[in-house]
A and B are shown apart, each in its own frame.
Chain A
Amino acid sequence: MLKATDLSFGYSKARPIGHGVNFSVSAGEVFCLLGPNGCGKTTLFKTLLGLIPILDGRLELDGHPVAGISRRSFARRVAYVPQANTAYFPFSVFDVVLMGRASRIGAFESPSRSDREIATAKLEELGILHLANRAYTEISGGERQMTLIARALAQQPALIVMDEPTASLDFGNQARVLNQITALAGTGLAVVLSTHEPGYAFSCADTVALMSKGTVLATGAPDTVLTSASLGSLYGVEVAIARLDATGQGICVPVLARRGPVKPI
């Protein structure tokens, strides 16, 4: 569906932020991008969304160059879930979700009854219909993230790009969002996301890409790509990887220095 071939990206051709990026995402696939701060993930996402032009190589959506697709047609196929930290005016959660319909409504039109029904349905699907009339500025970070996912779903896209969807969420909300991502992929939706928790890739991703200094070091299934050696060199810290006996879920933690004598628990 979305395919990058030898992609260079950034703001100026003289100093590209990243280069030589190859990957493709197909329907129902969860593609997870890992990398330290400043490795170019956010710029790559903006490039994938067609918000900044590519510098070199090819970026295709359904076989067509992204640069040649109008914002409107692009938004019908690809939705974006930004980090939920900006809100200027107290639009209701319902109105925010309704904004997801923009690419399917003419510039001079207002949302129709069916648009409102779709927005309501997406709120219900994500279990946040009770928030519909609350002001977006007054709900919690987790509720905002869910609202933005509902807005993306209201676009009825084939692919969703999520920039650190679990950032600044509490423990429970992180799990809720991850489960939601897995559920969405189950319905055939492709998901591209970035995260700072490598362990999450074990449970939700089909493909993992490790990114460093603008290039992709390794791409593949989580079990092959995520090793303590690869993550150790990516983040520059010692990393331990284990599997939970009970569920087989992979976990991934940095090995931390301890302070003082260890007391038995």
Chain B
Amino acid sequence: MNENQAAGAGPADATQGRRWVGWVAVWILFAAVAAIALVTGKYAISPQDIARVILARLTGTASGVPATVETVVWNVRLPRVLCGLVAGAALSAAGAVYQGLFRNPLVSPDILGVSAGASLGAVLGIFLSLPVIAIQGLSFAGGLAAVALVYAIGALARGRDPTLVLVLAGIAVGALLGSCISLLKVLADPYNQLPAITFWLLGSLASVSRGDFLSVLPAMVLGLVPMVLLRWRMNLMTLEDEEARALGVETARTRLVLIAASTLMTSAAVSISGIIGWIGLLIPHIARALVGPDFSKLLPASLILGGCYLTLMDTLARSASVEIPLGILTAAVGAPFFLWLLLMRSRRGWN
């Protein structure tokens, strides 16, 4: 860094060279992960055939590969990889927003009860033996409703630190919803419903379809747009509330928009994948270490790394002889990695 300064480069451009290399590396990683995930599977398919199917489907021509291969690629593997990329990206982006908003690097997207609300919705759906689409819908609605409730409580309790009130309300509402989930688990049929509930609560992409991907896409885009538009404002939201307001930011309005956007993306991801922990906590850390805290770089880095991480974990999960629920893998890999990060980083602050 000192060399750059001595060379007389402007402060803004000093680290440009290093960043450029970083971005190329991130995109190569993304392409590699997507390719590995598409090629890996119980049913062996050559990379050429996969490329042929996707190309043919996109251009509307005949692919010339066996129908079974085409079905596996187009209806099973591609949706699963796309869902993994989108869910991982969404959870990580939401995590990056929440960590900034709550000025706490140990915050994850479920801090305001979105996961608890989504879980209760889905568990209720399974308990009532509703069809899959209704379970997903209930989970989506449950996540949104939980955060809306927490936000309403936060607005009623006019404390001096609005973010602290939100976090505390989130913990309490989350615990309340958690008790409802436990009650439903006790009441559920232990042979059919309970395994389904448990599997859902541990997270899995095993049953996602092309329809799932397409149905959550609008929510994902709708959530991402404000994040992209407010990417520089987001930096100011990491300051103390009064400091940000003194700088001219309408913090209450901006916070509401960003929380709504993050909740929308998290709920959409959870509704198709179940509860997958650790991504929203871990990935923003790694992204911050790579590109720094500036949200205009942190957001794309979190999106790409999050998508890659979840897809990679999912590929691992379905490569095992018995499919492992995703939540188990992300926690088993994420937690030790996070601890390592903690020990490495604690010496020079959260980076």
Contacts and interface: CB of A to CB of B under 8 A. Distances in A.
Same assembly: yes
Interface of A: 11, 46, 49, 51, 70-72, 74-76, 78-80, 82, 86, 88-92, 94-95, 99-100, 102-103, 105, 107-111, 116, 120, 123, 129-130, 132-133, 135, 137-138, 151, 155
Contacts of B288: 89
Query: From DSSP, what is the main secondary structure of chain A's interface residues?
Result: mixed
A82 B31 CA distance: 46
Nearest to A97: B11
B248 to A, nearest CB: 3
Nearest to A108: B229
A137 B349 contact: yes
B148 interface: no
Interface string B220-254: 00000000011111011011101101111110001
Contacts of B292: 90-92
Given A75-B247, A123-B11, A133-B15, A95 B4 contact: no
A95 B249 contact: no
25 contacts: A46-B242, A51-B242, A51-B246, A71-B248, A72-B250, A75-B247, A76-B248, A80-B246, A82-B240, A82-B243, A88-B350, A89-B105, A90-B292, A90-B293, A91-B292, A103-B248, A107-B230, A110-B296, A116-B10, A120-B11, A120-B12, A132-B5, A133-B15, A151-B247, A155-B247
Given A46-B242, A94-B11, A107 B233 contact: yes
A105 B293 contact: no
Contacts of B323: none
B232 A88 contact: no
The 9 closest A-B CB pairs, nearest first, are: A103-B248, A75-B248, A132-B11, A80-B246, A89-B293, A110-B232, A108-B229, A94-B11, A88-B103
A108 B238 contact: no
Given A51-B242, A120-B11, A103 B247 contact: yes
B7 interface: no
Contact of A90 (B15, B103, B232, B349): B349
Contacts of A86: 240, 243
B350 A90 contact: yes
Contacts of B12: 94, 116, 120
B294 interface: yes
Nearest to B348: A138
Contacts of B239: 99
B14 interface: yes
Nearest to B226: A108
A224 to B, nearest CB: 32
